[in-house]
C-alpha cells in the first residue's frame, strides 16, 4: 500500500478499510509517514467526513498504538470525560467521589487547549502535585485510594500524541471522526467498565452549536459501546461558565466548596447528574433518585473531600482548603437591562491573556489568575452593578483593556430571556 | 496573519484574498511555512475548490515568486502548451515551425510525469542535447534561431517547484486551480504575447472526462487572458495515442517524418490546427484556411525541419533523421472484431515498465524504448493480426507479461464504433 493512494481514496470520498487505517496509524506511530502526508490525510478526512466504521477503526488502532492500563483491583473501573467548557471543575469532584463508592477511577487527563482549561492545570494549582505518575504508581494509588488524576503516560496512544500535534497547526482539529479517535483511544486505554461523557455545547465550548455537539456525542457513544465499554452521555449547556469560578486555583477552590456541600447550583447539578448516570449504567443503582442521593450524601458528609485530599497528597500535592488567588478588580455594567448572553470564547481568552491559560504549549500558567461571574443569563442588572471580578497579576499592563473586553462579553438586552437548559438530554 | 487561520478559512469554503494568497506563496518560496501546513492548505483548496479570483491570484504570485524571461527581440513571442497525452510530439514540430514565421518561441518545458511523456525527454533522445540553458543562452538563441526548447530555469516560479513536489506525494495534483497556477505561472514567465493551449481528454490524458477537461480549459484560458496574454485553446482527443509512435526516440523520429511532409494524419492535423490558431489569434492571418496552409507549407518545404536541426545543434545535440530504436516484438490480436477502445493509461504504464518513462524523478530513461500502434479505434481486426509493436531492451525479463498487458489495452468488440472526434472544440 502507498500512503498517497490512501490519501487519494479519502479525498475522493471513499471509505478506508480497517487494514488501511491500520497502515496509516502504524505509520504515524513508527514515524514512517512524514508530517506532510499525515496532514493531507487529516484534511481529506475532515473534508470528506469519516464513517462510523472508519471512526471505530481509527480509535481501535490508535488505542493499540500504545498500551492499556492494567486492571489491578476487583472493583469496577469507571471514568467521566468532558469535551471541555469554561469553569468545568466536575472531574476534580467526581474522581474522589466515585472512589468513595468502591469504584476505581483511573482518570488520565490533559492540559488546557484553547479557551477551555485543563484538569491537570487545575490539579497543579496545589503546589507539588505530580501529573506524571508511572503505570506502576497509577496501579499502586488505585489499589490504595481508588482514584488518580494524572497525565496520559508516554505508553498511552502514542499515535494520538503525534496526530494531535499536527492537527493543532493544520486546521484539522474540528472533525468528529478525528476527535472521537483522539478522545476514545485515551479513555479506552484506561481499561474501563463504564464511561460517562459530558458533551458540552455553546459559546464557551468546543462545539458552538447543539447540532455539532449531538453529532460528536453520537459518535463518541457509538464508538465506546462498539469497543465493549458501557458508555452513556449527557449533552449539557456551555453558553455560560459552569459555576461562578473560571481559572485554575479559583476552580479548585470552588470544587472544594462543592465537596463541603455548598457551591453553585449548576455545577452541583451537573456533578450529581454525571455521577448518577454512572451508578445507573453500572447497575450500582436502579433508581435515578437514589443514585443522585448517593452522590449528594458524599458531598454533604465530607467523604468526597477527604478522598480528594488523600489523592492530592498521594500525588505529592500540598492540599489546602483555599488556594491563594491574585488580587481582584471589579467589572461593572455600563447600562441597565437583562443579561441575554455571555461570550464564553471572549471570557476564556481574557483568562488566557491574564496568564491563566496557554497560547502555546510551552507557556507557563499562573494558577491564581481567573474570574468570578456575578451574573447569569436571565438576571436583571442595573447601571453600575458589578458583573464579574477579574483576578489578575498586579503587573498586568492591559488590565483596563481586559476589563472593557470582559464587560463586552456580557450581553445586556431590553427584555428578559430565560437561561438555557443546563442538561439538554442524555444518551 | 497566521497560516493556520488561512488553512481554516479555505477549509470552511471561504475565498482567500489576493493578499492572503500572497502570504502563502511567499511563505512557500521563502520556506517560512513548513511542508505539513502547505499540504493541509493544498488539500483544503482541492476539497473546497478555488474561485477564479483565487486562481488568478495564485498564478500571479507564483509567477512573481521568480523572474520572467527578458524580451530580447522585436518579434512577437508565442508558445503552445499541452496538458499532456500519449504520443504527443506536437511541441517538437511547432517550436521550429513558428520560428520560421518570424515568431519567437521560448518554450520552457518539463519532463515526463506519470504516463504522459515529457518534451525534454523527447529532445534528449538526441545525444548531447542540453535542456539546462541559462537565461543568457535562451536570449542569445532566440535572437539567432527564434526558438528554444529547454527546462524552466531555477529563477522561474520557484514557488511552483516546491508546491509541485508536495502535491505529487499528497494526492493534491488534480485541482483545477492548482493545475492552472502551476501551468500558467511558468508560461507567463516566458513573457508571451500569445499562447495556445492543447487541453486533452481521454484514457491517455490527465483529464479522463471531457467535463473535467472543459473545466480546466476554461480556467487556463481565463487566467491567461486576465494576465494580459492572448490565450486560445483547443480541446482535443486523447482516447488513443496521437500518431503511431509512443516513446522518446520513436516520437522524435515521427516528428521528423511530419516535418518532411509525411507522418500520421491525426498528429499532422493537431499540429496544423494549433499552429493556425496562433497565427489567427496574433492577427498574422485572418483566414483560417490560409493560416493552415502557411503551417502546412513549412512542413512540405522542409523549412521547419531545417530550423529544428539548427535548434538541436545550437543546444549541443547531435541531430540525425532517424534515431536508433530498441528491438521490436509484435503483439497480435487473439480474437476478431472491431477496435472499440484503447487503454491509454495501460499503454503509458507499459512504456514506463520498459524503461521509457519514470516511476520516480531520479529514474534514468531509455530513449529507444516505446511502442507503435498499428490499429486505431474503429478499425477491423482479425484473429492473429498485429495490433502494435513494442520496442524493448533485450534484457527486459517481463516482456511476455507486458505483451499480454498491451493486448488487453486494445478493446475489441463485436461491432464497429466510430473513432472519437480529434478536435472537439476551440475556445
pLDDT interval class at B121 (50, 70, 90): very high
Tell me the C-alpha distance between A391 and A376, whole Å: 19
What residue of A is the nearest CA neighbor of B47?
A47
pLDDT for residue B104 is more than 80: yes
Please indicate whether residue B112 or residue B68 has the higher confidence score (pLDDT): B68
B8 CB neighbours in chain A (<8 A) are: 171
Instruction: Give the separation between CA B24 and CA B40, rounded to whole angstroms.
Output: 12
Is B81 a catalytic site residue?
yes
Which of A36, A48, A172 shows the shortest C-beta gap to B35? Answer: A36
Q: Which residues pair with A207 in a beta bridge?
A: A201
The secondary structure of chain B in percent helix, strand, coil, rounded to multiples of 5, reads 45, 20, 35
Cα(A197)–Cα(A187) distance, integer angstroms: 10
Would you state the cell numbers that stand for residue B286, as one nine-digit string? Answer: 485572418
**CB < 8 Å to A11, chain B:** 43, 46-47, 171-172
pLDDT band of residue B2 (cuts 50, 70, 90) is confident
Is B155 buried (19+), middle (13-18) or exposed (0-12) by CB count in 10 A? middle
Percentage of chain B lying above the pLDDT 90 cut: 91
Query: Do β-strands A386-392 and A370-373 pair in parallel, antiparallel, or remain unpaired?
Result: antiparallel
Give the least confident one: A108-122, A185-199, B26-40, B295-309: A108-122
Q: What cell numbers appear for B371 in the block?
A: 511502442
What does the mean pLDDT of chain A come to? 95
DSSP string, A25-62: HHHHHTT-S-HHHHHHHHHHHHHH---HHHHHHHHHHH
- Lowest mean pLDDT across A163-167, A205-209, B31-35, B194-198: A205-209
Grid coordinates belonging to A69: 492500563
User: Cβ–Cβ of B37/A39 closer than 8 Å?
Assistant: yes
Q: Assign A232 to helix, strand or coil.
A: strand
In a 3-state reduction of DSSP, which class is residue A404?
helix
Rounded CA separation B170/B41 (Å)? 11
Distance of CA B280 to the CA centre of its chain: 22
pLDDT for residue A245 is more than 80: yes
Compute the distance between CA of residue A44 and CA of residue A32 in angstroms, rounded to an integer: 19
Closest CB to A170 among B40, B47, B48: B40
ipTM, interface predicted TM-score of the complex:
0.86
In 10 A of CB B426, how many CB atoms?
A: 16
Closest partner residue to A47 among B35, B44, B170, by Cβ?
B44
**Rounded distance between C-alpha atoms, residue A351 and residue B391, angstroms:** 72
Please compute the mean of the pLDDT values over residues A40-49 and round it to a whole number.
98
Mutation site for B-interface testing, chosen from A36, A114, A212 by largest number of B Cβ within 10 Å: A36
pLDDT of residue B396: 82
Closest CB to A36: pick one of B4, B8, B36.
B36
Higher pLDDT, A332 or B360: A332
For testing contact with chain B, the best of A24, A34, A40 (most B CBs within 10 A): A40
| Dist. CA B329–CA B371, nearest whole Å | 9
- By a Cβ cutoff of 8 Å, what residues of chain A touch chain B? 4, 7-8, 11, 34-40, 42-44, 46-48, 166, 169-172
How many Å from the N-terminal Cα to the C-terminal Cα in chain B? 39
Residues contacting B284, CB < 8 A, separation 6+? B76, B101, B103, B278, B291
User: How far does the CA of residue A342 sit from the closest CA of chain B (Å)?
Assistant: 25
Distance (Å) from the alpha carbon of A427 to chain B's nearest alpha carbon: 29
Q: Residues A190, A139: contact at Cβ < 8 Å? A: no
Sign of CA dihedral B175, B178, B182, B188: positive
Give the start-end residues of each E strand in B267-415.
Answer: 327-332, 337-342, 370-373, 380-381, 386-392, 410-413
Closest CA to B89 of B295, B255, B287, B223: B255
pLDDT, tens digit (0-9, with 9 covering 90-100), for B245-274: 999 999 999 999 999 999 999 999 999 999
B4, A170: Cβ pair inside 8 Å? Answer: yes
CA-nearest residue to B168 within chain A is A4
**What is the per-residue pLDDT across B223-243, written as a single tens digit (0 to 9) for each?**
999 999 999 999 999 999 999
**pLDDT at res. A364:** 87
pLDDT at A395: 85
How sure is the predictor about A105, in pLDDT bands with cuts at 50, 70 and 90? very high
User: CB within 8 A of A41, min separation 6: which ones?
Assistant: A3, A6, A7, A10, A24
Beta partners for residue B331, in sequence order: B388
Q: Report whether B373 contacts B389 (CB < 8 A).
A: no
A304 falls in which pLDDT band (50, 70, 90)?
very high
Catalytic annotation, pick one of B10, B80, B81, B284:
B81
Mean pLDDT of B106-130: 91
| pLDDT at residue B113 tops 80 | no
Kindly tell me if the per-residue pLDDT of A287 is higher than 80.
yes
Question: Is B341 an annotated catalytic residue?
Answer: no
Q: Kindly provide the residue ranges of all beta strands, DSSP E only, lying in A306-356, ordered along the sequence.
A: 327-332, 337-342
CB A378 within 8 A of CB A419: yes
- Nearest CA to CA, how far is A62 from chain B (Å)? 21
C-alpha cell at A155: 505508553
Give A207-231 pLDDT, tens digit per residue. 999 999 999 999 999 999 999 999 9
Give the active site residue among B61, B80, B186, B284.
Answer: B186
CB A42 within 8 A of CB A172: yes
CA A388-A392-A394 angle, to 5 degrees, is: 135
| Model pLDDT, residue B30 | 97
DSSP state of A87: T
Amino acid at each position: 500500500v502507498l500512503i498517497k493512494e490512501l490519501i487519494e481514496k479519502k479525498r475522493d470520498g471513499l471509505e478506508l478499510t480497517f487494514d488501511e487505517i491500520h497502515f496509516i496509524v502504524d505509520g504515524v506511530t513508527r514515524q514512517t509517514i512524514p508530517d506532510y502526508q499525515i496532514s493531507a490525510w487529516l484534511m481529506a478526512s475532515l473534508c470528506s467526513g469519516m464513517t462510523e466504521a472508519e471512526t471505530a477503526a481509527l480509535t481501535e488502532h490508535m488505542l493499540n498504538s500504545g498500551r492499556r492500563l492494567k486492571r489491578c483491583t476487583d472493583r469496577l473501573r469507571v471514568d467521566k470525560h468532558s469535551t471541555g467548557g469554561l469553569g468545568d471543575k466536575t472531574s476534580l469532584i467526581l474522581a474522589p467521589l466515585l472512589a468513595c463508592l468502591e469504584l476505581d477511577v483511573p482518570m488520565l487527563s490533559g492540559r488546557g487547549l484553547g479557551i477551555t482549561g485543563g484538569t491537570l492545570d487545575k490539579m497543579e494549582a496545589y503546589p507539588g502535585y505530580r501529573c506524571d505518575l508511572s503505570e506502576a504508581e497509577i496501579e499502586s494509588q488505585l489499589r490504595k485510594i481508588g482514584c488518580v488524576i494524572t497525565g496520559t503516560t508516554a505508553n498511552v496512544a502514542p499515535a494520538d500524541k503525534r496526530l494531535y500535534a499536527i492537527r493543532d497547526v493544520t486546521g484539522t482539529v474540528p472533525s468528529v471522526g478525528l476527535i472521537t479517535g483522539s478522545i476514545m483511544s485515551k479513555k479506552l486505554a484506561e481499561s474501563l467498565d463504564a464511561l460517562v461523557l459530558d458533551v458540552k455545547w455553546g459559546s464557551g465550548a468546543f462545539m458552538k452549536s447543539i447540532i455539532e455537539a449531538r453529532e460528536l456525542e453520537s459518535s463518541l457513544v457509538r464508538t465506546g459501546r462498539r469497543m465493549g465499554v458501557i458508555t452513556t452521555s449527557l449533552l449539557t449547556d456551555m453558553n455560560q461558565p459552569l459555576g461562578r469560578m473560571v481559572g485554575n486555583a479559583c476552580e479548585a477552590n470552588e470544587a472544594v466548596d462543592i465537596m463541603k456541600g455548598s457551591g453553585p447550583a449548576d455545577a452541583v447539578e451537573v456533578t450529581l447528574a454525571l455521577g448518577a448516570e454512572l451508578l445507573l449504567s453500572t447497575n450500582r443503582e436502579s433508581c435515578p433518585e437514589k443514585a443522585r442521593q448517593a452522590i449528594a450524601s458524599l458531598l454533604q458528609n465530607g467523604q468526597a473531600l477527604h478522598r480528594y485530599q488523600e489523592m492530592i497528597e498521594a500525588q505529592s500535592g500540598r492540599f489546602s482548603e483555599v488556594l491563594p488567588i491574585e488580587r481582584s478588580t471589579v467589572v461593572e455594567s455600563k447600562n441597565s437591562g437583562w443579561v441575554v448572553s455571555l461570550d464564553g470564547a471572549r471570557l476564556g481568552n481574557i483568562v488566557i491573556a491574564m496568564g491563566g491559560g496557554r497560547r502555546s504549549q510551552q507557556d507557563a500558567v499562573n494558577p491564581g489568575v481567573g474570574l468570578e461571574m456575578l451574573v447569569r443569563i436571565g438576571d436583571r442588572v442595573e447601571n453600575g452593578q458589578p458583573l464579574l471580578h477579574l483576578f489578575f497579576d498586579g503587573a498586568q499592563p492591559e488590565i483596563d483593556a481586559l476589563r472593557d473586553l470582559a464587560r463586552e462579553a456580557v450581553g445586556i438586552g431590553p427584555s428578559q430571556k430565560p437561561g438555557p437548559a443546563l442538561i439538554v438530554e442524555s444518551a
